[in-house]
Chain A
Amino acid sequence: MSPFETEVQLAGSGPESYFSMVIRRLLKHKLAVISLGILISILIFCFVVPLFFKYEPTYSDFSYLYGSPNSRYLFGTDNLGHDTFTRLMYGGRISLIVGFSAAILPIIFGIIVGAFAGYYGGVLDNILMRITDAFLSVPSFPIYMALAKVMGQGVINIILVFSFLGWMVDARLVRGMFLSLKENEYAEAAKAIGVSNLRIMFRHLLPNAMAPILVSVTLTVGGAILSEAGLSFLGLGVPSSTPTWGNMLTNAQQDIFIAPRLVIWPGIMIFITVLSFNFLGDGLRDAMDPRLKL
């Protein structure tokens, strides 16, 4: 007889990590799968395809302004003779980098603030949450304008501004998670073993808070791409000489009647990307909630 005679068959069908469970469930979510496919295509379009493409984004063909699409310029050219196809790819790079950075930096800051507030509670929680409230009460638009003036326009600056003004919602989300997670008996068990507070917070509780955090990040990426477009449109974002989807929209606005496709292409890229991020976020939320039957 085996030494494990008392053992019952394992409950599950086999070893399945949480990660593979999420992937399996996500793959059942049609819209999310399509969105993921679209996003991967867009990433390849922006980051891989340009490596094999002949034009630089700054290359101007002055003999072919407002050019219609042809075999040389697949999507035509703009008012300065830039190849729209090339600029969509390079513009997408900046827009996506801004989007990702503007989602990841604030979530990191939000996690730190929210984790300490929720875990320790009491006075620390009070102080941190009042600071958060104060930041939430700052009218962000005038601040964008002021900071753009002070720091100048630029990709890094816009990421910093978004991060500076974007961590509060994440901090509140994480705080709420930690408030309830810390009541779990496994947190008490860790304490009983002698695990330090920091390790309990970031090794035990954080992985259990990852689901809503990831969803929030996904949704924020889309939001940040939109905001970048909006700010660029107002001349507060990335300098207009640098192609981003937002800048392409902006530059094309006066030509909307002459060459509507110059508005339509970047518009479609922004729309599809943001929508895909939102669908993916919804799909992740459902996939990560094991109580939900898919």
Chain B
Amino acid sequence: MATRLVEVQKLKKWFPIKGGVFSTTVASVRAVDEVSFFIDQGETLSLVGESGSGKTTTGRTMLKLLQPTSGKIIYKGKDISKLTPNQMRPLRRNMQIMFQDPYGSLNPRMPVGDIIREPLDVHSIGTRKERQQAVATMMETVGLRPEYERRYPHEFSGGQRQRIGVARAIIINPELLVLDEPISALDVSIQSQIINLLQELQQRLNLTYLFIAHDLAVVRHMSDRVAVMYLGKIVETADNDELFDHPFHPYTQALLSAVPVPDPDVKRERIILQGDVPSPINPPSGCHFRTRCPYAMPICKEQEPAMIEVAPGHTVACHLLTRK
């Protein structure tokens, strides 16, 4: 039986929009709207959805880099959602994040050795010499030459910078790592190198991943389970194979139809979604996806679909399930 590392319950993150003379809240960006999922120790949960669906916000709120509006974040059985930033600081050792942007996420005025060493400095781990040694070892582990330690981020390529980002995230031995689209800014030729590195590290260090991606193509190689997100809601969750073989939600099917099929005998119809993602400030009533759904029914407008388990571990929120 796998142990649960983290569980998120009805997590909500609304960004208030201030306006008017007295700067009152006039509206909210419902970036994450009652999202629930869990991740077991050592597994990879992929969070997939178009850009703007709230994946980054989910990841950051789960790590308490953003204060949740409501909901619970249960880390190893303990609710951390209400902890203050100071109470969170010691826990940061256990949960790390790797960012999407290889350029913005590294301080341009810091040599990479200092960047990688900083987590050790901050948590006072080891002596000065031990830290220095750890940095060299870590640089080698992620495929960077330790001699480059005094160089600045702008001297490295995008792929190398992501390696620096990985090194910084794992040097303190975290348990949980949020990977926020770690390869989407990289050349295709580099992407697989970073994916291989991440998989290798997961094996070796028994890491647990929340892997965020905007399409399903990479996800298949990476994940144990997949959660599909649309406009602040998770619409479908399933084991990797189950999701790819039996996608239920029309949105999942659309995402899946965009993935190139390696086997030319298997024909898959490409579903092109109509229109744009609606604004999370004023999302559609009922099911958020209904404005772009080819199967939209009257009930979709009136009622938000409930999460229903269609197979063990496979949950879907769609009115098609209850139609009769």
* Interchain CA distance A92-B37 in the complex, whole Å: 71
**B 148-183 binary contact with A (CB < 8 Å = 1; else 0):** 101110111101100001001000100000000000
Given the contacts A15-B151, A18-B152, A7 and B160 also touching, CB distance less than 8 Å:
yes
Size category of the A interface is: 20 to 34
The answer on a CB contact under 8 Å between B151 and A192 is: no
* Interchain CA distance A184-B157 in the complex, whole Å: 19
Given the contacts A4-B144, A12-B155, A189-B99, A194 and B104 also touching, CB distance less than 8 Å:
no
Closest B residue, CB atoms, query A200: B107
Given the contacts A6-B193, A192-B63, A186 and B93 also touching, CB distance less than 8 Å:
no
Task: Tell yes or no: B246 within 8 A of A by CB.
Answer: no
Task: Tell yes or no: B278 within 8 A of A by CB.
Answer: no
Question: Of residues A3, A15, A207, A208, which shows the largest number of chain B Cβ atoms within 10 Å of its Cβ?
Answer: A15
Closest B residue, CB atoms, query A12: B155
Q: Give chain B nearest CB distance to A66 CB in angstroms.
A: 56
* Interchain CA distance A192-B118 in the complex, whole Å: 11
The answer on a CB contact under 8 Å between A12 and B154 is: yes
Given the contacts A3-B140, A189-B105, A193-B92, A11 and B157 also touching, CB distance less than 8 Å:
yes
The answer on a CB contact under 8 Å between B105 and A193 is: no
* Interchain CA distance A185-B56 in the complex, whole Å: 12
* Interchain CA distance A134-B292 in the complex, whole Å: 55
* Interchain CA distance A185-B47 in the complex, whole Å: 21
Task: Tell yes or no: B106 within 8 A of A by CB.
Answer: yes
Residues of B within 8 A of A207 (CB): 107, 109-110
Residues of A within 8 A of B160 (CB): 7-8, 10
Q: Give chain B nearest CB distance to A178 CB in angstroms.
A: 14
Given the contacts A185-B101, A185-B105, A192-B97, A3 and B143 also touching, CB distance less than 8 Å:
yes
Residues of B within 8 A of A196 (CB): 89, 122
The answer on a CB contact under 8 Å between A11 and B154 is: yes
Task: Tell yes or no: B297 within 8 A of A by CB.
Answer: no
Closest B residue, CB atoms, query A209: B109
Closest B residue, CB atoms, query A19: B109
The answer on a CB contact under 8 Å between B156 and A11 is: yes
* Interchain CA distance A158-B107 in the complex, whole Å: 39
Q: Give chain B nearest CB distance to A17 CB in angstroms.
A: 7
Checking B105, B152, B154 against A186 with a beta-carbon cut-off of 8 angstroms, the contacting residue is B105
Residues of A within 8 A of B92 (CB): 192-194
Task: Tell yes or no: A195 within 8 A of B by CB.
Answer: yes
**A 1-42 binary contact with B (CB < 8 Å = 1; else 0):** 001101110111001111000000000000000000000000
* Interchain CA distance A269-B137 in the complex, whole Å: 57
Residues of B within 8 A of A188 (CB): 60, 65, 99, 105
* Interchain CA distance A8-B96 in the complex, whole Å: 27
Checking A12, A18, A191, A194 against B109 with a beta-carbon cut-off of 8 angstroms, the contacting residue is A18
Task: Tell yes or no: A74 within 8 A of B by CB.
Answer: no
Checking B65, B150, B157 against A8 with a beta-carbon cut-off of 8 angstroms, the contacting residue is B157
* Interchain CA distance A169-B155 in the complex, whole Å: 35
* Interchain CA distance A192-B171 in the complex, whole Å: 13
* Interchain CA distance A196-B145 in the complex, whole Å: 29
Closest B residue, CB atoms, query A188: B65
Residues of B within 8 A of A49 (CB): none
* Interchain CA distance A184-B153 in the complex, whole Å: 15
Closest A residue, CB atoms, query B140: A3
* Interchain CA distance A3-B144 in the complex, whole Å: 9
Question: For residues 182 through 216 of chain A, which have their beta carbon under 8 Å from a beta carbon of chain B?
Answer: 184-186, 188-196, 199, 204, 207-208
Q: Give chain A nearest CB distance to B14 CB in angstroms.
A: 18
Residues of A within 8 A of B109 (CB): 18, 207-208
Question: For residues 49 through 102 of chain B, which have their beta carbon under 8 Å from a beta carbon of chain A?
Answer: 60, 63, 65, 88-90, 92-93, 96-97, 99, 101
Task: Tell yes or no: B123 within 8 A of A by CB.
Answer: yes
The answer on a CB contact under 8 Å between A6 and B143 is: yes
* Interchain CA distance A191-B109 in the complex, whole Å: 17
Task: Tell yes or no: B108 within 8 A of A by CB.
Answer: yes
Given the contacts A8-B157, A15-B155, A208-B107, A192 and B96 also touching, CB distance less than 8 Å:
yes
Q: List 26 A-B contacts (CB under 8 A).
A: A3-B143, A4-B144, A6-B193, A8-B159, A10-B155, A10-B156, A10-B157, A11-B154, A11-B156, A12-B155, A16-B152, A17-B152, A18-B152, A185-B99, A185-B101, A186-B106, A188-B105, A189-B106, A191-B65, A192-B96, A192-B97, A193-B122, A194-B92, A195-B118, A196-B89, A208-B107
Extra contacts besides A18-B108, A18-B109 (20): CB < 8 Å: A4-B145, A6-B143, A6-B159, A7-B144, A7-B160, A10-B156, A15-B150, A15-B152, A16-B152, A185-B101, A186-B105, A186-B107, A188-B99, A189-B105, A190-B107, A193-B96, A193-B168, A194-B92, A194-B119, A195-B118
